[in-house]
Amino acid sequence: MEKKWISTACTLDCWDSCSIRAFVEDGQVKKLVGNPENPVTGHFLCEKGYKHIKMRNGRKRLIKPLIREAGALREASWEEALDLVAEKLLKLRKDYPTSALLYISEFGNSGVVKKADQRFFNAFGGVTMPTGSLCAGAGVEAQRYDFGKCLAHEPTDYLNSRMIIVWGRNPVTTGPHMVPFIKKAQENGARLVTIDPLPSETAAMSDLHLAPKPGSDGLLAMYMIKVLIENNLVDMDYIEKNTIGFHYLKEAVMELDKNQVSEVTGIPYGDIEDLALEYGSTKPAAIVLGFGIQRYSNGGDTVRAIDALGAVTGNIGKSGGGVSYNNSVSQGLIDEDFLKGTGLAKEKRTYDRPLLGDFILTEKNPPVRFIYTARANPVNQGMDIEKILKAFKSVDFKVTLDMYLTDTAAASDVVLPVKHPLEEDNIVMPPANHSYINYCNKVVESPEGVLSELEILNELAMRLDLGSFPLLSPEKWIEIITQPMRGKIDIELLKEKPLKVPGLLDIPWSDSRFFTPSGKFEFYSETAKDEGFFPTAGYRGLETEVSKEFPLYLITPKLRGSLHSQHFALVEGDHVPTVHINSTKANELGMEEGDTVSVSTQMGSIKAILKLDEDILPDRVKIYQGGWTRKGGGINRIIPERYSRMGMHAAYYELVCRVEKE
Ligand code: SF4
């Protein structure tokens, strides 16, 4: 009986990209453990990571292709399904410009090799590709204006912090590998503050939790800067040497009125002042940003205001300090041009991710006639998914690649089952939370007959005679696309253990060489101005506010046990969500725990089960996202297509509702 440990990594769309050691016995994966060779992700995985084995072995995992016939999906052979997809691709190319094909791809499972599908479609002639963001885009753009790009402190550096502000993030649930470092910092005397409109596990372990009204965080940060200026707690030496445009910021914050700030944020100004004074007088102090704060129409401005807070206090470039958001340390390590076939496309068109349904229904030049979806579930995760569903129905032919019959797969004409990430080689570049590269060695064989996404593309390329898409194995792809990192990273060693990107500063921006046009931190950004935005951070309100008709804020965070909708594949029974509400509000509405209620927004209503939650404030409710639409979930049915212009980013959390007893 053969037993072995194999080095791999978690490919889920997560901050952490954990390094994993997989124990294989007799050709079966028996156990996954964290690989401590990665000092950030260490020896443990989260609930979702441990579920990889269940997801791989799931009872409802698709093994055979499905083809729609007479309205229903039936099993088909690979030959029949691939021939049909190839035939439809050829017909599309004959009848329309190739941009009539819409390619939808997200981060359902990461790994560089998977991006080869972009080369396939560029070689095909060029199709409609996604732009904008459903994830972190507004904040990424904001930090581009301020710093020139995103760089985050390694969580290990929080051990050097005397104060940590976790802002709009719940790492206990969504990226737990920073939590041991935060706890250790607390043991060493650091104070932990969480700023989040909702209660959370992270808030519960904090010394202070402030819960501003959703989307008002930027104003909170701006007012904190005013308090710091008034109390001589700004670091003028740092500002003069390393930044430009401070007087514009100062002008903006000095106009703020404390009563108005309190009213908009819902936080007494005394509490805001206390926090500002503490932050300004405790060095070093780290701010750890989440993606939640920028899921509003003003999301980019919010991140710029918080960046400014870090810069005025001189916390940038200091060990234990920083404003950490995302981490762009992979540039230049992968041959992206070869991988994506840059230059092969004759046709070029993009669609904005938050406006998917609208694009499909209204675009005429050419109209969308074919949708190819991989690593994504837009019929569940997009905005206004009733519209997306209608849009899907309006398109002649839809192909989805997935392991399960997701909402998107169920709305498709052909479903091609794919390999689980443990069943193929890949390479995972550093995520938002650390700087380690992982090689995913194939751990186990896939069920007989199941193809990987790459093998599917190879089959289609042969049928289409697509000469500029090379028919390669994943290993060969990795050999080619990792050429730029040869000499810096030992690929053979990488197969054995995670390796840190070489040549990085220990502390981002400690050399004070920013990637902005001025080379300094920019409180005032000409780039932002040239691109149509305000040059300086500011609070510019929201597009939606509570009203008589919709008196409650509705926030839809992530569940601990599922990465978006993925792990709901394992949930038997219905996926009707739970709406969390304060008992004071529930009493006022005449509702009790367990009641079936309807939650309505401007888009319509969804059924939910009421759960009392004393930690949540009475003006807001929470529903975890991810449940499948056709099983009674699909909270995104009632989320409109709203976005932050900065980053063309989905404003999922800018939502107001009413709750009524059914
Ligand atoms: S989901 Fe995130 S935290 Fe969990 S195992 Fe995967 S990478 Fe690690």
Residue 12 pLDDT > 80: yes
Beta-strand pair 28-34/19-25: antiparallel
The helix, strand and coil proportions of the chain, stated in percent and rounded to the nearest 5, come to 35, 20, 45
Q: What is the mean pLDDT of the chain?
A: 97
Per-residue pLDDT tens for 89-147?
Answer: 999 999 999 999 999 999 998 899 999 999 999 999 999 999 999 999 999 999 999 99
CA of 550 to the centre of ligand 1 (A): 36
Contacts of 2 (CB under 8 A, 6+ apart): 24, 25, 26, 27
What residue has token string 């997200």? Answer: 106
Mutation probe of ligand 1 site: the residue of 32, 38, 45 with most atoms within 8 A of C-beta: 45
pLDDT attached to residue 105: 95
| Ligand 1 in reach of 174 Cβ (< 6 A) | no
Rounded to the nearest 10 degrees, what angle do helices 116-124 and 453-464 cross at? Answer: 20
Phi/psi of residue 178, each to 5°? Answer: -90, -15
Residue 247 pLDDT > 80: yes
| Ligand 1 in reach of 10 Cβ (< 6 A) | yes
Rounded to whole angstroms, how far apart are CA atoms 33 and 19? 9
Contact 256, 207 (CB under 8 A): no
pLDDT attached to residue 206: 98
Sheet (strand 426-428) strand order: 426-428, 436-440, 499-500
Beta-strand pair 101-105/191-195: unpaired
Task: Identify the band that residue 425 occupies on the pLDDT scale cut at 50, 70 and 90.
Answer: very high
β strands within 516-575, DSSP E: 521-522, 552-555
β-bridge mates for residue 31, sequence order: 23
Residue 269 pLDDT > 80: yes
Q: Where are the domain boundaries for CATH 3.40.50.740 in the chain?
A: 66-132+331-495
Arithmetic mean of pLDDT, 186-202: 98
pLDDT attached to residue 586: 97
Fold of the domain spanning 66-132+331-495: Rossmann fold (3.40.50)
Per-residue pLDDT tens for 554-591?
Answer: 999 999 999 999 999 999 999 999 999 999 999 999 99
CA of 374 to the centre of ligand 1 (A): 20
Arithmetic mean of pLDDT, 402-416: 98
| Ligand 1 in reach of 176 Cβ (< 6 A) | yes
CATH architecture of 552-661: Beta Barrel (2.40)
- HSE-CB for 210 with a 13 A CA cutoff: 26
| Ligand 1 in reach of 16 Cβ (< 6 A) | yes
Q: Where are the domain boundaries for CATH 2.40.40.20 in the chain?
A: 552-661
| Ligand 1 in reach of 289 Cβ (< 6 A) | no
Per-residue pLDDT tens for 647-657?
Answer: 999 999 999 99
Arithmetic mean of pLDDT, 518-531: 98
pLDDT attached to residue 237: 98
Contact 301, 523 (CB under 8 A): no
Angle at 499 between CA 493 and CA 505, to 5 degrees: 140
- H or E stretch covering 501: none
Per-residue pLDDT tens for 45-67?
Answer: 999 999 999 999 999 999 999 99
Collapse the DSSP code of 372 into the 3-class scheme (helix H, G, I; strand E, B; otherwise coil) and give the result: strand
Collapse the DSSP code of 439 into the 3-class scheme (helix H, G, I; strand E, B; otherwise coil) and give the result: strand
Rounded to whole angstroms, how far apart are CA atoms 273 and 228? 9
Residue 1 pLDDT > 90: no
How far, in whole angstroms, is CA 232 from its chain's centroid? Answer: 38
Task: Identify the band that residue 79 occupies on the pLDDT scale cut at 50, 70 and 90.
Answer: very high
Q: Give the burial string for 130-161 (b: 16+ CB within 10 Å, else e).
A: bebbbbbbbbbbbbbbbbbbbbbbbbebbbbb
| Ligand 1 in reach of 12 Cβ (< 6 A) | yes
Q: Decide which of 3.20.20.70, 3.40.228.10, 2.40.37.10, 2.40.50.140 is the CATH code for 138-325+506-523.
A: 3.40.228.10
**Is 396 exposed, middle or buried (CB count within 10 Å of its CB: 0-12, 13-18, 19+)?**
middle
Beta-strand pair 620-622/552-555: parallel
pLDDT attached to residue 571: 96
pLDDT attached to residue 223: 98
Task: Identify the band that residue 429 occupies on the pLDDT scale cut at 50, 70 and 90.
Answer: very high
pLDDT attached to residue 499: 98
pLDDT attached to residue 339: 97
Among protein residues, the one whose CA lies closest to atom 5 of ligand 1: 49
| Ligand 1 in reach of 89 Cβ (< 6 A) | no
Q: Considering the chain, what percentage of its residues have pLDDT values greater than 70?
A: 100
> Does this model's pTM top 0.95?
yes
CA of 332 to the centre of ligand 1 (A): 25
Rounded to whole angstroms, how far apart are CA atoms 146 and 222? 15
Contact 102, 370 (CB under 8 A): yes
Rounded to whole angstroms, how far apart are CA atoms 612 and 586? 8
| Ligand 1 in reach of 9 Cβ (< 6 A) | no
CA of 424 to the centre of ligand 1 (A): 18
Arithmetic mean of pLDDT, 200-207: 98
| Ligand 1 in reach of 49 Cβ (< 6 A) | yes
pLDDT attached to residue 662: 87
Rounded to whole angstroms, how far apart are CA atoms 204 and 185? 16
β-bridge mates for residue 357, sequence order: none
How far, in whole angstroms, is CA 92 from its chain's centroid? Answer: 32
| Ligand 1 in reach of 20 Cβ (< 6 A) | no
At 520, the amino acid letter reads: K
At 168, the amino acid letter reads: G
What residue has token string 């503490």? Answer: 278
Instruction: Indicate the DSSP class of residue 418.
Output: B
Arithmetic mean of pLDDT, 272-296: 97
Contacts of 24 (CB under 8 A, 6+ apart): 2, 3, 4, 5, 6, 30, 443, 444
**Is 571 exposed, middle or buried (CB count within 10 Å of its CB: 0-12, 13-18, 19+)?**
middle
| Ligand 1 in reach of 580 Cβ (< 6 A) | no
Contact 559, 591 (CB under 8 A): no
CA of 48 to the centre of ligand 1 (A): 6
